[in-house]
Amino acid sequence: MQRSWVGSYDQGVPSTVEYPDWTLPDLLSRSVTRFAHSPALFFYGRRISFAELDELTTRFALALRSLGVGPGDRVALMLPNVPQALIGYYGALKAGAVVVQTNPLYVGREIETQLADSGSETILALDLFYPRISAVQDRTPLKRIILTSVRDFLPPLRRLLYPLKARLSGRWIRVEKRPPLHDFLELLNITPNGDKTTLPRLKQTDVALLQYTGGTTGIPKGVMLTHRNVVANACQCRAWVPDFREGREIFLGVIPFFHVYGLSTTQHLAVMTGCPQILLPRFLVGEALQAIHRHRVTIFSGIPAMFMMINEYPKVQRYDLRSLRVCLSGASPLHAEVQERFERLTGVRISEGYGLTEASPVTHCNPVYRVNPRGSMGVPFPDTDHRIVDLQNGEREVADGELGELRVRGPQVMQGYWRNEAETRAILRDGWLHTGDLVRRDSAGFVYLVDRKKDMIKSRGENVYPREVEEVLFKHPAVKDAVVVGIPHRQYGEAVKGFVVLKDGQTLTEGSLIEYCRRSLAVFKVPTSIEFRSELPRTMVGKVLRRMLRDEEEVKQVGAEMVERRKAG
Mean pLDDT score, 380-409: 93
Residue 99 reports pLDDT greater than 60: yes
The DSSP letter of residue 492 is T
Q: How far is CA 463 from CA 141, 363, 477, 549, in A?
A: 26, 18, 27, 20
Residue 453 reports pLDDT greater than 70: no
Cα 204 to Cα 226: distance, rounded to the nearest angstrom: 7
Residue 201 reports pLDDT greater than 70: yes
Mean pLDDT score, 83-106: 97
Nearest in space to 382 (alpha carbons), one of 30, 23, 12, 24 = 12
More confident residue, 450 or 374: 374
Which tens digits make up the pLDDT trace of 526-544? 999 999 999 988 754 456 7
Q: Exposure string (b/e) for 453-484, b if CB count within 10 Å is 16 or more?
A: bebbbbbbbbbbbbebbbebbeebeebebbbb
Helix (H/G/I), strand (E/B), else coil: 72: coil
Give the pTM: 0.84
CB 58 within 8 A of CB 91: yes
What angle separates helix 304-312 from helix 336-346, to the nearest 10 degrees?
A: 60
Band of the pLDDT at 337, cuts 50, 70, 90?
confident
Mean pLDDT score, 15-29: 96
* Phi (first) and psi of residue 532, to 5 degrees: -90, 130
More confident residue, 457 or 157: 457
Q: How far is CA 313 from CA 253, 280, 317, 492, in A?
A: 20, 18, 9, 16
Band of the pLDDT at 454, cuts 50, 70, 90?
low
Nearest in space to 352 (alpha carbons), one of 315, 395, 305, 304 = 304
In 127-206 the beta strands, taken as DSSP E runs, fall at 144-148, 181-183
Q: What's the pLDDT at 463?
A: 79
Least confident of 206-215, 331-340, 429-438, 441-450: 331-340
Mean pLDDT score, 35-60: 97
Cα 347 to Cα 410: distance, rounded to the nearest angstrom: 33
Band of the pLDDT at 70, cuts 50, 70, 90?
very high
Q: What's the pLDDT at 545?
A: 81
Residue 216 reports pLDDT greater than 50: no
Q: What's the pLDDT at 4?
A: 85
Q: What's the pLDDT at 1?
A: 60
CATH topology of domain 457-568: GMP Synthetase; Chain A, domain 3 (3.30.300)
Q: What's the pLDDT at 540?
A: 45
Residue 193 reports pLDDT greater than 70: no
Residue 557 reports pLDDT greater than 90: no
Q: How far is CA 216 from CA 264, 357, 358, in A?
A: 22, 11, 11
Band of the pLDDT at 217, cuts 50, 70, 90?
very low
> Identity (one letter) of the amino acid at 115?
L
Q: What is the mean pLDDT of the chain?
A: 91
Least confident of 48-57, 290-299, 439-448: 439-448
Give the CATH architecture of domain 22-375.
Answer: 3-Layer(aba) Sandwich (3.40)
Mean pLDDT score, 501-525: 94
Band of the pLDDT at 560, cuts 50, 70, 90?
low
Which residues, 6 or more positions from 241, have their beta carbon under 8 angstroms from its beta carbon?
299, 326, 368
Q: What's the pLDDT at 215?
A: 45
Which residues, 6 or more positions from 393, have their beta carbon under 8 angstroms from its beta carbon?
none
Cα 16 to Cα 6: distance, rounded to the nearest angstrom: 10
Residue 558 reports pLDDT greater than 80: no
Q: What's the pLDDT at 164?
A: 62
Band of the pLDDT at 163, cuts 50, 70, 90?
low
Maximum average pLDDT range among 83-92, 188-197, 443-452, 542-551:
83-92
Cα 556 to Cα 558: distance, rounded to the nearest angstrom: 6
Domain spans, the chain: 22-375, 457-568
Say what percent of the chain tops pLDDT 70: 92
Residue 41 reports pLDDT greater than 50: yes
Residue 386 reports pLDDT greater than 70: yes
